[in-house]
Structure 1
Amino acid sequence: MNLLLLMQKNCPRSARWCLLLSCSMLASPAVAKETHVGPSPRMKRADAFLGIHFDFHAGDDCNSIGKRTTPQMVEMVIDKVNPDYIQIDCKGHRGYSSYPTKVGNPAPGFIGDPLRIWREVTRKRGIPLFMHYSGVWDYKAVADHPDWAAVDGNGKPNAKATSVFGPYADRLMIPQLRELAGEYGVDGAWVDGDCWGTTPDYSEATVQKFCAQTGAKSAPYKQSDPYWNEWMDFHREGFRNYLRHYVDELKASHPDFQVISNWAFSDHMPEPVFANVAGLSGDFAPDNSVNSARFAGRCLENQGVPWDLMSWSFSRKNNKQKPAVQLMQEASQVLAIGGGYQAYFKQDRDGAIRSPAEMDVMAEVAKFCRDRQAYCHRSVAVPQIALLYSTAGHYRASPSLFHWNGTNGVKVLRMALTEMLQNQYGVQILSEHHLRGHLSEWPVVVIPGWTFLEADFRDELAAYAQSGGRLILIGTGPKKLFDKELAQIADSSIVVVDQVDAAFPDALRHGLPNPIVEVVGSKDVDVSPRMLNGNLTVHLVNSSGPHANAPDEGIKEIKPVGPLTVSIRLDQPPKSIVMQPEGKSLEIEWQNGRAIVTMPHLDLYSILVVEP
């Protein structure tokens, strides 16, 4: 089969769109308007693959910021890491700015202007510079302006969170981002503490607005109260309007300024992208990071927008630097499903880089990523199993406005994801907006633990099963949603398993009897069949190790797994299968429509590139 046709047949529409967008970017790279004299325009964030992030959340204890910030320090970071972009602190959750702002709340003391140094060096070297800027969370702003704060159910102003219905964005955030864009010429902002920092606001003005919109007599205070779902949706829409507002305002005044809102349109916020953001991003869990990245990346990869994920380079449990190999394994989970990668290193309280030795660690990780970039970045999944992250089901049950934690559906989903990966299945996490009208593109759809689905989508899933698709329902909640179909359909189009146990892999095997890729030799291998540059690529990640309980000194060694036998379903024998980045051509055995190769071992992350 023609490879382009294979790609079009096997890739979901959203993924095809992303690939076409990528191709158009390569053909016609976006050019930033640059008013400063210097090298050629800097890379747009949408094209970036590798970054490094620094922050220190300046506070009232910081009275000598800039004391040790030198051009040589910035040059050292660039020379060692060779990043596509750098992100540095400018305003953290405490609300104090780590540069001498004229419109915000500067930290107590500066020695010179450290942001000028970062900007001049990065401009000279052609490196984009992004700001770590805390959005909704701003402790200083709400302390100085209690009327800007969200109000809790007891009538007390929140000590951390501003209200998305209040004047904070217009009075402080937008003016300060414009200062950064105009006075300093920075390339954009990575806005932290945004969706996940948003909280319900019980202020009188907000409650009155809610009651006028919904007809409620008062605001609800708990999930069992009338209008609770409407109350939560009202605040979610408030955040959407706030995000669109500040992004659009910045685009109007500074069209080249690029905004990313941390964790927007992600596992925290599983909904379509509705704002003109430059990309999607998040910092996954600093501990148990491999499992966090497995989940978070699959919630981003189908959103149709360039994305990246960030490791914490240190453990939050003990603040110790992670060894390079541990970060490489975390990065592998991101790269293997097409994303960009960045890692977070702390700055000292004066804003200086903590240690050149930490940059040596990042240099090793960066080389590991660069060696694989040509074989992974912007790859798109070949549909195998769709694992439903129901936006409606999650929002209906979640105690939070925007966070993945707290619902049984996500709890079961994450357990199911682990089981699928440990049984070497390619799996995508998809929501209603990905699947509506496109269910037939997936051989199997798994419904994990959701107790509520919108009626029209539930009916579409039922029709999918009745027309030959395979639904796997996990638990009593999904079973009740499809009781009628279970009574009517005699075949195994709908399969129910009580929980994620031995019955679940059996159901998957019956639902997907001839997967594109089969791997024998170790359960500690995550498998992702994907398309890139017209070729089928098979991404194999060594996922072994104590992820949830890493030793205090970090994971210093990840033992190779194997030998592995990899069987790939194809229409005809391929010309070659090459293991990358090792450049090793593997001997192929052709048997019953499958190309079979043997890998003596898998060290950490390798890609099999299939040439037809």
Structure 2
Amino acid sequence: MRFRQIHLDFHTSEHIPGIGSRFDAETFGQAFKDAHVDSVTIFSKCHHGHSYHPTEVGRMHPHLDFDLTRAQLDALHAKDIKAPIYLTATWDELAAREHPEWRTVLPGNILGEHRHGPDAEVGWAYLDFSSPYVDYLCAQTEEVMRRYPDCDGIFMDISFQLPSISEWAKKRMEEAGLDWTDEADREKHTAAMVEEYFTKVRDAVRKHDPKMPLFFNSGHMRRGMRKHYADFYTHLELESLPTAHWGYEHFPLSARYADPLGVPFLGMTGKFHTLWGEVGGYKKPEALVYECGAMIAQGARCSIGDHLHPTGQIDGSTMGIIGAAYEWVEAREEWCVDSTNRAEIALMSVEAASARSLSGIPGKTVAADEGAVRVLLESKFLFDVVDLESDLSGYRLVILPDAVEVGEALKAKIDAFVAGGGRVLLTGKSGIGADGNVFDTGATWQGTSANKGGDYALPVEGLRASFVNDPLFMYGPAEKLALDGGESLGAVYEPYFDRSPRRYSGHVNAPSKPEPEAHVLGAAKGAFTQFAFPIFSLYQRVGAVAMLEMAEKLIERALGAPRLIETGLPRAGRATLRRQESRDVLHLLCANPTLRGHLRGNPVQPIQELIPLNDVAVTVAADGPVAGVRLVPEGQALEFEDAGEGRVRFTVPRVHGHQMVEIARG
């Protein structure tokens, strides 16, 4: 899989004339070559439903008079640039207009439609996988395979489905013995239709080329679906435009789950100021360099989203921005290929551990997962995100954040992990069943606090935030833990009362009572540490610095040993350590996205500039003799010293957005 890819959107209305009128094959191919691009995903069919080539199945764009798909593919291949081909699934405006009976019908007999933002007046129509539309889509896919057998992959977009009560869906449900008036049955049917869609499209591709790369995009790759990915995908493309509604935590969370699966994957950002299709919107080159740096630091290859002008003319500003980023990436690829993450912590994903379904639009945010990843990144811990099938044996600590239900299989896995010397951190309701604690954590569960507005926490001194020595309001209720043979992690203080129309005090919350409750903030016993609050979800929602410091110290205590790396990076910094055959490569990153607007219901947080950091101190667990330390790709050797206990210490003279350091093993 290529390292420097472009996803070249081309959603072009039938009301726009002159499609491809300024396309020039040599100019097109050379522009991408000059921008250090090695793969470009081009279009067969867009969301408007138009094909960009002659077709016997669909309809070519009414203002296109030549095979634009073939012209682009040949132009790119002439420059040794790969060209996967794009089709869209759930959204197809032409099919929706000409076959309204194929549309998704939501409960209440509402036609399903996707609109970007609360003020949008129009949006994409949803089509129903229960209808003959899927056969139409498969015929289009087979046509692409016949016309372009030399293409380099199939990218199938918008691969999700809303529950439908169309006549087709009703008929299919009744045939399956399901009740279309029952929500659970509608969900079950929808998941079955999505599975059928994946199977039919995969078979349509494999019929013509068993080895053709194939990817189904859904805007967020659900965690915990590894068998599904193995059955239908050749690789993963993690769509995550940080300045749109994904944010800057979504990609590292997704990447840290994808990487241990062993499936080739890439990160996908955009050149746009915010969202897809923003023709005339531009991201600063420095921001794109940082985002590409974040991808390679997490073991991903890179993809940048762009949108071709209807005339087929290349946008010079865009190529300049992308070219700067990809020239930078190209110089660093040698230290990125075939690398593995050095992780000391396994974060059990709440999304992956929960009941999963292919029904509906994948949600991009799971508070416990995102909050935990934010804490781990800001604290510079090295981690992977794992699911119920993951091998835990290589980790030192497993974190079950806030809401992980522990069934028999997971309990057996955790028990074996602990027997092998591993340690476990449970927060919030994780590890609490109907009968109380699943593990012996040194505490007994006595229910959840009735204070929905929130309780207060006063940790023992070693777990407190550096600037808080009094009860900290936590914005959520505590689990009531009675100490039972374990070591207390601190005290819980309740408010005088929950604010309500009957009892009201203050602007936000009632003050804490002067004396602590009998139940404790948490307990530690043996390998287990249990914390009474869902601290990761709370931090994701509230963003309190005191919570971050408390969470970091809690993880450090649960880990029970020095972390693999220590750095002088600020909180905005990120660090990963990846292993190649004869060396480790340390990635240090730092940028400050700044809130600068609010658009389509989402905050706009661009990176405006990269502020260099000087003389960043680093200590790394070397895992063997060290032959040398140097900056790469610059080649500058760094002085280093033995820090004891198998650790090496050095200073990185400058980090400007992203810096790699090679630690060669002796």
What range is the shorter-chain TM-score in? 0.7 to 0.9
Residue 196 (structure 2) aligns with? 241
Of 15, 18, 30 in structure 2, the residue corresponding to residue 64 of structure 1 is 18
Deviations 1:493-539 (A, max 9, x none): 22223113233211211233222222134333211122123422222
For 1:300, give the aligned amino acid.
Answer: A
Residue 220 (structure 1) aligns with? 182
- On the 8 A contact 1:270/1:299 being kept in 2, the answer is no
The alpha-carbon distance between structure 1 residues 599 and 126, as it changes in their structure 2 partners (threshold 3 A), is: closer
Deviations 1:543-577 (A, max 9, x none): 43427869989534200124211111134431111
Residue 448 (structure 1) aligns with? 401
Residue 174 (structure 1) aligns with? 138
Secondary structure of the residue aligned to 1:476 is coil
The alpha-carbon distance between structure 1 residues 178 and 62, as it changes in their structure 2 partners (threshold 3 A), is: farther
Residue 508 (structure 1) aligns with? 555
Of 530, 537, 543 in structure 2, the residue corresponding to residue 496 of structure 1 is 530
Aligned-partner Cα distance in 2 for 1:321–1:265: 23
For 2:385, give the aligned amino acid.
Answer: I
- On the 8 A contact 2:346/2:398 being kept in 1, the answer is yes
Gaps of 5+ in 2: 114-124, 444-483, 487-524, 537-546
The alpha-carbon distance between structure 1 residues 468 and 404, as it changes in their structure 2 partners (threshold 3 A), is: farther
Of 635, 653, 658 in structure 2, the residue corresponding to residue 600 of structure 1 is 653
Aligned-partner Cα distance in 1 for 2:230–2:174: 26
Secondary structure of the residue aligned to 1:591 is strand
- On the 8 A contact 1:521/1:562 being kept in 2, the answer is no
Residue 39 (structure 1) aligns with? none
Most deviating of 488-497 and 98-107: 488-497
Of 293, 299, 303 in structure 2, the residue corresponding to residue 332 of structure 1 is 293
TM-score (norm 2): 0.76
Of 596, 605, 630 in structure 2, the residue corresponding to residue 578 of structure 1 is 630
Is 1:164 aligned to 2:129, yes or no? yes
Residue 664 (structure 2) aligns with? 611
The alpha-carbon distance between structure 1 residues 518 and 552, as it changes in their structure 2 partners (threshold 3 A), is: closer
Show the 5 A alignment for 1:285-324: 285-287=241-243, 289-316=247-274, 320-324=281-285
Show the 5 A alignment for 1:101-112: 101-112=55-66
Deviations 1:245-300 (A, max 9, x none): 21122111234533211148824774432334331113212516533322232232
The alpha-carbon distance between structure 1 residues 446 and 489, as it changes in their structure 2 partners (threshold 3 A), is: farther
- Higher Rg: 2
For 1:187, give the aligned amino acid.
Answer: D
Q: Which has the higher contact order (CA 8 A, sep 6+)?
A: 1
Aligned-partner Cα distance in 2 for 1:600–1:314: 32
Secondary structure of the residue aligned to 2:585 is strand
For 2:31, give the aligned amino acid.
Answer: V
Show the 5 A alignment for 1:366-385: 366-385=326-345
The alpha-carbon distance between structure 1 residues 553 and 574, as it changes in their structure 2 partners (threshold 3 A), is: closer
For 2:330, give the aligned amino acid.
Answer: R
Give how far 1:132 is off: 2.5
Give how far 1:234 is off: 4.2
- On the 8 A contact 1:263/1:281 being kept in 2, the answer is no
Most deviating of 335-344 and 308-317: 308-317
Is 1:519 aligned to 2:567, yes or no? yes
Is 1:91 aligned to 2:45, yes or no? yes
Show the 5 A alignment for 1:537-576: 537-546=585-594, 554-576=606-628
Gaps of 5+ in 1: 1-46, 222-227
Give how far 1:321 is off: 0.4
Give how far 1:208 is off: 5.5
- On the 8 A contact 2:5/2:38 being kept in 1, the answer is yes
Residue 429 (structure 1) aligns with? 385
For 1:431, give the aligned amino acid.
Answer: D
Aligned-partner Cα distance in 2 for 1:97–1:269: 35
Secondary structure of the residue aligned to 1:322 is coil
- On the 8 A contact 2:631/2:637 being kept in 1, the answer is yes
- On the 8 A contact 2:4/2:302 being kept in 1, the answer is yes
Aligned-partner Cα distance in 2 for 1:200–1:90: 27
- The aligned length equals 547
The alpha-carbon distance between structure 1 residues 456 and 555, as it changes in their structure 2 partners (threshold 3 A), is: closer
The alpha-carbon distance between structure 1 residues 418 and 111, as it changes in their structure 2 partners (threshold 3 A), is: same
Aligned-partner Cα distance in 2 for 1:560–1:344: 27
Most deviating of 69-78 and 411-420: 69-78
Is 1:199 aligned to 2:246, yes or no? no
Secondary structure of the residue aligned to 1:507 is helix
Residue 479 (structure 2) aligns with? none
Secondary structure of the residue aligned to 1:302 is helix
Give how far 1:453 is off: 4.5
Give how far 1:457 is off: 1.8
Residue 35 (structure 2) aligns with? 81
Aligned-partner Cα distance in 2 for 1:181–1:166: 23
Give how far 1:350 is off: 3.1
Of 388, 400, 414 in structure 1, the residue corresponding to residue 348 of structure 2 is 388
Residue 373 (structure 2) aligns with? 417
Secondary structure of the residue aligned to 1:293 is helix
Secondary structure of the residue aligned to 2:84 is strand
Residue 519 (structure 2) aligns with? none
For 2:290, give the aligned amino acid.
Answer: Q
- On the 8 A contact 1:335/1:377 being kept in 2, the answer is no
The alpha-carbon distance between structure 1 residues 99 and 217, as it changes in their structure 2 partners (threshold 3 A), is: closer
Aligned-partner Cα distance in 1 for 2:270–2:355: 28
For 1:258, give the aligned amino acid.
Answer: P
Aligned-partner Cα distance in 2 for 1:72–1:540: 39
Aligned-partner Cα distance in 2 for 1:371–1:518: 27
Aligned-partner Cα distance in 1 for 2:596–2:578: 28
Aligned-partner Cα distance in 2 for 1:393–1:166: 32
Secondary structure of the residue aligned to 1:472 is strand
Aligned-partner Cα distance in 2 for 1:555–1:383: 28
Is 1:469 aligned to 2:422, yes or no? yes
Secondary structure of the residue aligned to 2:399 is strand
Give how far 1:192 is off: 1.4
Give how far 1:402 is off: 4.5
Aligned-partner Cα distance in 2 for 1:610–1:158: 54
Aligned-partner Cα distance in 2 for 1:241–1:400: 12
Structure with more helix by fraction? 1
Secondary structure of the residue aligned to 2:567 is strand
Aligned-partner Cα distance in 2 for 1:455–1:547: 45
Structure with more strand by fraction? 2
For 2:157, give the aligned amino acid.
Answer: D
The alpha-carbon distance between structure 1 residues 166 and 302, as it changes in their structure 2 partners (threshold 3 A), is: farther
Residue 510 (structure 2) aligns with? none
Aligned-partner Cα distance in 2 for 1:480–1:520: 41
Secondary structure of the residue aligned to 1:564 is strand
Aligned-partner Cα distance in 1 for 2:396–2:108: 50
For 1:583, give the aligned amino acid.
Answer: G
- On the 8 A contact 1:314/1:320 being kept in 2, the answer is yes
- On the 8 A contact 1:64/1:111 being kept in 2, the answer is no
TM-score (norm 1): 0.82
Residue 236 (structure 2) aligns with? 280
- On the 8 A contact 2:52/2:67 being kept in 1, the answer is no
- On the 8 A contact 1:290/1:329 being kept in 2, the answer is no
Deviations 1:574-597 (A, max 9, x none): 111122112121111102121111
The alpha-carbon distance between structure 1 residues 571 and 121, as it changes in their structure 2 partners (threshold 3 A), is: closer
For 2:8, give the aligned amino acid.
Answer: F
The alpha-carbon distance between structure 1 residues 560 and 545, as it changes in their structure 2 partners (threshold 3 A), is: farther
Is 1:532 aligned to 2:485, yes or no? no
- On the 8 A contact 1:266/1:299 being kept in 2, the answer is no
Aligned-partner Cα distance in 2 for 1:211–1:432: 34
